[in-house]
Amino acid sequence: MMWNKKMLVSRRPLFASPTERTNRRRFALMFGLLWFKLIWFDVSWCAASTFRSFSMVETYLSATLVVLVLLLPLVVWRMERTTWVVAVLMDALLVCNLMYFRTYYTAIPPDSYLLVGNLKDFTDSVWGSLKATDALFPISTLVAALLRWRRRGQTSRLRHSTLVRRYVVATALSAAALLTLTWAKGGFRTAYESMQGSYTHTCVTPMYTVFGTFYYDCIRDAETFTPEVERQIEQWMAADRADRMMANADTLMPDSVVRRHGIIILAESLESWVLERTVEGQELTPQLNALLKDSLTIYAPHILSQVKGGRSIDAQLMINTGLLPIENGAYSLKYPHTTYPSLVRAMKEAYGAEAVRAYVLTGDKPMVWNQAVIEPVFGYDSLISKASFVNDEPVGPRYRPQIGDVSLMRQIADKIVRGEAWDARQHMLLQCVTYSGHFPFALPERLREVRFSGRFPERMRDYMATARYTDRAIGLFIDRLKAEGIYDSTLIIITGDHEGLGEMRRTWCESAGGRGIVSERPMVPLIILNAPRGMRIEAVGGQIDLYPTLLRLFGLKRYAWRGMGRSLTDPTRPPVAIDPHGRVYGLADSVSATALQRLKGAWPVSDAIIRYDYFGRRQQR
């Protein structure tokens, strides 16, 4: 009798698998745990975008089906330990995708999972993307483990075969319902892409889970170049060419004045609203403000940030090649060997390859965004990176300081004066990439020239102080060029590489201090110094318009590839820009529906050009 009682009460340790009977409560616990994780992920994702996906049946069906599939080892083979490992891995996967989404507004592309090593140079940004609510993922796992431990001695009279049958039925019904709904919408890809609109593009990941997005990206990457793709590209180009031919000539810029050299300064996360702005009696960008008053300065304050997953390297793509970012991921990582027409190649074609020298100067490592590979593809002769600079003025978090903008620009000026990155006998083009404006805008107290009251959000105070620091760096750099006699023969382009606020923008705009100061639109400034003629361009433009603008100012009008934008100095340019999600900024009412559709169509066409190496294929014919 005593022996039978012992047999009725399980003394197995925590997480041990039963040998004869399945614990129904254990299955319910694990199902509820994993389902909660997926739904909480959707809530966190939608909080930064839109909750529209919660009105879609796919959101609940996909979550249910994914959880049932993940529980397969537990139900069929009674592998409870494996299921707990899956729960922990889900925590990591979902939190990482949320962190990525808060910067790029998309899930992590498949190829980026293999590039986790790149994050060590952006540790501050990574931690800055975490939210307190993300802690619910590991906390839910701990709570479920505690409940499981408390029920460790309980058994169920439900036979294992019965549970398996019920599991198979539930999985089949969920899959059938989801497949039927998807089939009714034209199949998975059609259903997925139907949500890629201005206000619904963020809904697809909650609707189909991160696994669905991963699958979609994989099938996109597996596509091949077809005659239909080629026809779409050439139709877009033909329509754009016809539109340019009908437009009036760009008469705003004289052809007689062309500067011999050019310097492009990409200021990290610099937005337009800090320029010409005084806060609590303190001018945020006094150096740049003074340069704006010069009679030979072109200033366009309303340049829409159009970067996507590549961020800074996407800005380089648009400025150097006139192409738009790819749909998912970073082109420099996925398609580094694609043929790219570029500003540098236009200069070398016009003056001869031996008469032009082009350098990229950055405080980052060569491997960041794969710069060591992509810059030569653009035609640059050398990449002068982190190892070539002395970090004598560190900024950023203490555990990973980076060279400050003042020190970086001073050392770049030294290399120019010493001839290490400059030869006045040739045509020079330099691209300088700063760092200090990188999130989380950590500037040491000793380097701050402005300080603000507590009525402003803390990050906003840091951002304004950092903008002032970058302003000082650029001002000192320009003064040095003037003193050395380099300025007069050089066209200098200053612009923000991308917007810098992300989801903080809404919070800052609604705060007592930020209201009326922070722009609700993600605009970066474009300042061109020593231009043939000064002007202020108030119309909205896009970063894609910078390439044709520079072709015009450098006198490179004969270069075959004119880019996908239009010169900002062209009076016939449509005064609008399209963001990566299809939203229109500017005077949309003044542009025809056909023109707007062509501007929106530039995004998938550019993606195809890069993805399938369209220009490389043309050269091989």
Stated as kind and residue range, the H or E segment containing 577 is: strand 576-578
CA 247 to chain centre: 33
466 touches 443 (CB < 8 A): yes
Residue 573, phi then psi, degrees to nearest 5? -65, 135
**Separation between Cα atoms, residue 372 and residue 299, nearest integer Å:** 32
How far is Cα 428 from Cα 491, in angstroms, rounded to an integer? 10
Q: Is the CB of residue 35 less than 8 Å from the CB of residue 179? A: no
Pairing of strands 427-433, 356-362: parallel
Q: How many CB atoms lie within 10 A of CB 432?
A: 25
The larger pLDDT score, comparing residue 377 to residue 20, is at: 377
Q: Say how many C-beta atoms besides its own lie within 10 A of residue 479's C-beta.
A: 13
DSSP letter for 303, please: E
How many CB atoms within 10 Å of residue 507? 14
Pairing mode, strands 576-578 and 356-362: unpaired
Q: What is the pLDDT of residues 549-594, one digit of tens each?
A: 999 999 998 999 999 999 999 988 999 999 998 999 999 999 999 9
Q: Predicted confidence band at 123 (pLDDT cuts at 50, 70, 90)?
A: low
The residue among 313, 408, 315, 420 whose CA lies nearest residue 366 is 313
Report, as an integer, the average pLDDT of 395-404. 84
**What span, in angstroms and rounded, lies between the C-alpha atoms of 485 and 526?**
24
- HEC profile for 449-466? CCCCCCCCCHHHHHHHHH
Three-state SS string over 5-74 comes to: HHHHCCCCCCCCCCCCECCHHHHHHHHHHHHHHHHHHHHHHHHCCCCHHHHCHHHHHHHHHHHHHHCHHH
> Which pair of tokens denotes residue 255?
């052809």
- pTM, rounded to two decimals: 0.77
| For residue 325, cis peptide bond before it (omega within 30 degrees of 0) | no
CA angle, 57 as apex, 54 and 63 as ends, to 5°?
80
Confirm if 38 and 210 have CB atoms less than 8 A apart.
no
What is the rounded distance in angstroms from the CA atom of residue 174 to the CA atom of residue 48? 29
Give the whole-angstrom CA distance, residue 421 versus residue 358. Answer: 9
Q: What is the mean pLDDT of residues 592-618?
A: 94
pLDDT digits (tens, 9 = 90+) for 310-334: 889 999 999 999 999 998 888 887 8
Write the pLDDT tens digit of every residue in 12-67: 444 434 443 445 778 889 999 999 999 999 999 998 778 989 999 999 999 999 99
Taking the CB of residue 487, how many other CB atoms lie within 10 A of it?
A: 18
Tokens at 369, concatenated = 């965004």
State the CB neighbour count (10 A cutoff) for residue 280. 12
Q: What's the average model confidence in pLDDT over 156-176?
A: 81
For residue 192, the model assigns a pLDDT of 87
Report whether pLDDT(189) > 90.
no
User: Per-residue pLDDT averaged across 285-304, rounded?
Assistant: 97
Average pLDDT, integer, range 112-136: 70
Lowest mean pLDDT among 106-110, 397-401, 431-435: 397-401
pLDDT digits (tens, 9 = 90+) for 339-362: 999 999 999 999 999 999 999 999
- Kindly state the tokens that stand for 58: 């796919």
Instruction: Please say whether the beta carbons of 495 and 265 come within 8 A.
Output: yes
For residue 607, the tally of other CB atoms under 10 A from its CB is 19
Distance CA 251, CA 618 (A): 32
Instruction: Check: CB of residue 17 under 8 Å from CB of residue 30.
Output: no
Percentage of the chain surpassing pLDDT 90? 69
- As a whole number, mean pLDDT of residues 473-485 equals 97
Tally the C-alpha atoms within 13 A of residue 187's C-alpha that lie toward its C-beta.
3
Q: Which residue has the higher pLDDT, 399 or 427?
A: 427
Query: DSSP label at 88?
Result: H
| Burial class of residue 618, CB neighbours in 10 A (0-12, 13-18, 19+) | exposed
For tokens 């050398």, the residue is 382
Residues 502, 102: contact at Cβ < 8 Å? yes
User: Which tokens belong to 398?
Assistant: 């203490």
| Per-residue pLDDT, 118 | 55
Question: DSSP secondary structure string, 321-384?
Answer: H--PPPSSS-HHHH-TTS----HHHHHHHHH-GGGEEEEEEESS-TTGGGHHHHHHHTT-SEEE
The tokens describing 334, both together, are 């996925």
Q: What is the dihedral of CA 318, 319, 322, 325, to 10 degrees?
A: -10
Has residue 263 got a pLDDT over 70? yes
Which tens digits make up the pLDDT trace of 65-111? 999 999 999 888 888 889 999 999 999 999 999 988 876 667 888 87
Element (H, E) at 395: strand 394-395
Percent of the chain with pLDDT over 70: 90
Is pLDDT at 444 greater than 60 in this prediction? yes
| pLDDT-based confidence at residue 116 (cuts at 50, 70, 90) | low
Using an 8 Å Cβ cutoff, are 491 and 531 in contact? yes
423 touches 446 (CB < 8 A):
no
3-state secondary structure of 496: strand
CA gap 245, 249 in Å, rounded: 9
Q: Which two tokens stand for residue 328?
A: 């998912």
Interval 502-521: pLDDT, tens: 889 999 999 999 999 999 99
Amino acid (one-letter) located at 28: A
Q: State the burial class of residue 536 (Cβ atoms within 10 Å of its Cβ: 0-12, 13-18, 19+).
A: exposed
Residue of 113 and 489 predicted with greater confidence:
489
DSSP string across 601-616: HHHHHHHHHHHTTHHH
> For residues 298 and 526, what is the distance between their CA atoms, to the nearest angstrom?
8
